[in-house]
């Protein structure tokens, strides 16, 4: 590892947020990570979420957007998706901490008697457990820098123990080991024609009350900050002027690292952490990606048929995978989210008219199922490139069973327990499981691809590893019938025979995957199936 002789210990950068939520702490954390990584440092990013759920796996996507799944099967906040897409390194269970997990651990220790009769309290027991998880990640992953994003907004009751941890760690680890980046909003008041810094001042004051002086302020703003404003913020918030960084709205999140680099945020942080910024950032690939993103040669329109369409974050990784795949096809992918529940036999042709590709999204439950069936049928019958992900693959299977095999009441037992033809059925290992949290088939499993299949030629390999989040599977009892009629299984789990991929070879491009390819698409490694799907869509004539 470059520079490792200069780094005897792990450094920690905390990213906190103030004034408002949704300012993009995840993107700022990822951007800082990218810049340090591009200088040769080994970096990981951890998310601390102050909510009491153990993980977001049981949360409705309308609450917190998509649930991201790591290789080792953790159900996590969608920010971990950003970390992976920016850094191109996998995250794990250890990268995601919630108040629920922290309390669960402390309470089970208490029940075991580990505290030897002591009163168990937020300080020190909860804060110690949070610190343990932060330090463990740094030491176990042999990284130079851990970036820790604290969810929520400073001033929230539930985030207090996390801010206290920042205070303690800075004190315990000593000077130059910890840096704090605080992200706030500088609103523009059009009536006054002015940018306002007071909310930032208040937010920093709140952090100070909790014992933490930020080292760097990143200010989200719609308009560029004048020198005057920077000076004012620096003066009132006790930071030097170079440590006031603006984050103006940009065309794409992938531009943020470059904007931060222009303002030397990485250098400023390295100096604060007593690391010599003597290497130059290597960002050629990244710049090329952003450049292509700005200058697409064509556009392609994809219909994303799902049930959480009102909230863009519900399909975050899918939308980002299309961005990556678009760049690798030199095109812009316009993804239109279509409400499955609004699709009927009479409007399907009109609703899906003009789309060059149709994707049916992952999901759970009955709502919108019949609309998804119609979308899969429409794509199949009209030779429009189709990509079904997880539930989307299951929908394709049910549709084929009903309309090609003539099994009129074929269904998934998730939707219709008593169906005569359970072409999608609960996995054997899932029978008897009653708890909802963390009990699905989760994380990466190997899959063997059939030589010569569309899936295999698209990947260019025969062995793949893909991430999962499901309870139901293709019912192999019907496999022969499907294959005879033209829908082939082209990917299997080598140990269990579970069907991981289905495809229709006579169709232009019709693939369904039981796994979630969107979790492993990154800027520098777009997912082959997304790339292939977009390419097929570009070539389709509709
Ligand atoms: N509901 C389906 C299952 O549990 C699909 C899950 C998904 O799309 N992630 O198998």
What tokens does 98 get? 């919630």
Q: Locate the ligand 1 atom nearest the alpha carbon of residue 424 and give its number.
A: 10
For residue 505, give the H/E element and its range: none
Ligand 1 pocket check for 471: Cβ under 6 Å: yes
Of 255, 244, 261, 254, which Cα lies nearest the Cα of 186?
A: 244
Of 378, 376, 380, which Cα lies nearest the Cα of 389?
A: 376
Ligand 1 pocket check for 472: Cβ under 6 Å: yes
pTM over 0.75: yes
Per DSSP, the chain holds a count of helices (H) and strands (E) of 18, 23
Candidates 390, 399, 503, 507; catalytic one: 390
Q: Is 516 a catalytic residue?
A: yes
Q: Locate the ligand 1 atom nearest the alpha carbon of residue 469 and give its number.
A: 9
What is the band of 433 on the pLDDT scale with cuts at 50, 70, 90? confident
What tokens does 19 get? 């004034």
Answer whether residue 4 shows pLDDT above 80. Answer: no
Ligand 1 pocket check for 414: Cβ under 6 Å: yes
For residue 146, give the H/E element and its range: strand 145-150
Are 86 and 521 spatial neighbours (Cβ–Cβ below 8 Å)? Answer: no
Mutate to test the pocket of ligand 1, among 306, 307, 363 (most ligand atoms within 8 A of CB): 363
Q: Cβ contacts of residue 487 below 8 Å, gap of 6+?
A: 396, 397, 400, 404, 502, 503, 504
pLDDT of residue 310: 84
Q: Cβ contacts of residue 194 below 8 Å, gap of 6+?
A: 188
Closest-CA residue, ligand 1 atom 1, reads: 364
Distance in angstroms (rounded) separating the CA atoms of residues 127 and 165:
6
Q: Is 390 a catalytic residue?
A: yes
pLDDT digits (tens, 9 = 90+) for 218-233: 999 999 999 999 999 9
Ligand 1 centroid vs 312 CA: distance in angstroms?
A: 19
Ligand 1 centroid vs 41 CA: distance in angstroms?
A: 38
Of 385, 394, 372, which Cα lies nearest the Cα of 308?
A: 372
Distance in angstroms (rounded) separating the CA atoms of residues 423 and 479:
9
Candidates 82, 468, 470, 516; catalytic one: 516
Ligand 1 pocket check for 239: Cβ under 6 Å: no
Q: Mean pLDDT check: name the lowest of 42-46, 307-311, 457-461, 498-502.
A: 307-311
pLDDT digits (tens, 9 = 90+) for 269-282: 999 999 987 788 99
Token match 């920690």: residue? 12
pLDDT of residue 57: 84
Of 463, 541, 540, which Cα lies nearest the Cα of 501?
A: 463
pLDDT of residue 541: 61
Candidates 84, 129, 466, 518; catalytic one: 518
Mutate to test the pocket of ligand 1, among 364, 426, 443, 445 (most ligand atoms within 8 A of CB): 364
Ligand 1 centroid vs 310 CA: distance in angstroms?
A: 20
pLDDT digits (tens, 9 = 90+) for 150-178: 999 999 999 999 999 999 999 999 989 99
High-pLDDT (> 90) share of the chain, %: 88
Q: Cβ contacts of residue 431 below 8 Å, gap of 6+?
A: none
Ligand 1 pocket check for 131: Cβ under 6 Å: no
Q: Locate the ligand 1 atom nearest the alpha carbon of residue 362 and give its number.
A: 8
Ligand 1 centroid vs 439 CA: distance in angstroms?
A: 12
Angle between helices 160-173 and 127-140 (to 10 degrees): 60
Answer whether residue 2 shows pLDDT above 70. Answer: no
Bridging pattern class, strands 68-69 and 298-306 = unpaired
Distance in angstroms (rounded) separating the CA atoms of residues 357 and 533:
8
Distance in angstroms (rounded) separating the CA atoms of residues 130 and 54:
14
pLDDT digits (tens, 9 = 90+) for 71-103: 999 999 999 999 999 999 999 999 999 999 999
Using left for φ > 0, alpha for ψ between -120 and 50, and beta otherwise, residue 486 falls in left
Answer whether residue 1 shows pLDDT above 60. Answer: no
Answer whether residue 542 shows pLDDT above 80. Answer: no
High-pLDDT (> 70) share of the chain, %: 98
Ligand 1 centroid vs 528 CA: distance in angstroms?
A: 22
Q: Tell me the average pLDDT across 453-480.
A: 97
Share the mean pLDDT of the chain: 94
Q: Determine what percent of the chain falls in helix, strand and coil, rounding each to the nearest 5.
A: 40, 20, 35
Of 71, 31, 35, which Cα lies nearest the Cα of 469?
A: 71
pLDDT digits (tens, 9 = 90+) for 501-538: 999 999 999 999 999 999 999 999 999 999 999 999 99
pLDDT digits (tens, 9 = 90+) for 320-373: 999 999 999 999 999 999 999 999 999 999 999 999 999 999 999 999 999 999
In 275-307, which positions are buried (b, 16+ CB within 10 angstroms) versus exposed (e)?
beeeeebebeebeebbebbeeeeeebebbbbbb
Within the chain, what is the greatest distance between any pair of CA atoms?
A: 75
């Amino acid at each position: 590892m470059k520079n490792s002789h200069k780094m005897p210990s792990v450094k920690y950068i905390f990213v906190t947020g103030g004034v408002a939520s949704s300012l993009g702490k995840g993107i700022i954390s990822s951007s800082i990570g990218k810049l340090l990584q591009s200088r040769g440092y080994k970096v990981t990013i951890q998310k601390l979420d102050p909510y009491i759920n153990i993980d977001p796996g049981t949360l409705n996507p309308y609450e917190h957007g998509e649930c991201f799944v790591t290789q080792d099967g953790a159900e996590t906040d969608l920010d971990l998706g950003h970390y992976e897409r920016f850094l191109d390194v996998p995250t794990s269970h250890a990268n995601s901490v919630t108040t629920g997990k922290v309390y669960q651990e402390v309470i089970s220790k208490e029940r075991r008697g580990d505290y030897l009769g002591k009163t168990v309290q937020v300080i020190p027991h909860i804060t110690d457990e949070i610190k343990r998880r932060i330090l463990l990640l740094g030491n176990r992953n042999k990284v130079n820098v851990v970036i820790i994003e604290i969810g929520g907004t400073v001033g929230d009751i539930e985030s207090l123990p996390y801010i206290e941890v920042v205070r303690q760690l800075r004190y315990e680890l000593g000077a130059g080991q910890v840096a704090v980046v605080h992200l706030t909003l500088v609103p523009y008041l059009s009536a006054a024609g002015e940018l306002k810094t007071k909310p930032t001042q208040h937010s920093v004051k709140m952090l100070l009350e909790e014992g933490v002086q930020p080292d760097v302020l990143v200010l989200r703003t719609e308009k560029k900050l004048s020198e005057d404003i920077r000076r004012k913020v620096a003066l009132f918030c006790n930071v030097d002027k170079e440590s006031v960084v603006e984050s103006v709205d940009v065309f794409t999140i992938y531009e943020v690292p470059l904007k931060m680099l222009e303002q030397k945020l990485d250098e400023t942080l390295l100096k604060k952490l007593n690391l010599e910024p003597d290497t130059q950032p290597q960002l050629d690939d990244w710049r090329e990606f952003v450049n292509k993103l700005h200058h697409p040669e064509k556009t392609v329109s994809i219909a994303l048929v799902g049930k959480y369409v009102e909230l863009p974050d519900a399909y975050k990784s899918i939308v980002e995978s299309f961005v990556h795949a678009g760049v690798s096809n030199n095109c812009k992918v316009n993804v239109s989210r279509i409400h499955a529940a609004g699709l009927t036999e009479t409007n399907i042709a009109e609703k899906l008219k003009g789309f060059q590709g149709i994707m049916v999204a992952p999901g759970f439950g009955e709502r919108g199922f019949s609309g998804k069936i119609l979308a899969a049928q429409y794509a199949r019958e009209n030779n429009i490139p189709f990509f079904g992900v997880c539930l989307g693959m299951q929908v394709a299977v049910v549709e084929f069973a009903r309309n090609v095999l003539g099994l009129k009441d074929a269904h998934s037992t998730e939707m219709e327990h008593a169906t005569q033809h359970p072409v999608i059925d609960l996995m054997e290992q899932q029978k008897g499981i009653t708890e909802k949290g963390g009990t699905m088939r989760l994380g990466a499993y190997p899959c063997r691809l059939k030589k010569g299949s569309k899936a295999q030629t698209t990947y260019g390999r025969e062995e793949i590893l893909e991430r999962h989040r499901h309870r139901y599977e293709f019912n192999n009892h019907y496999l022969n019938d499907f294959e005879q009629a033209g829908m082939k299984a082209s990917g299997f789990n080598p140990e269990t025979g579970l069907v991981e991929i289905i495809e229709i070879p006579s169709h232009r491009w019709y693939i369904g995957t039981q796994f979630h390819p969107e979790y492993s698409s990154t800027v520098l490694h777009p997912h082959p199936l997304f790339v292939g799907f977009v390419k097929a869509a570009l070539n389709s004539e509709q």
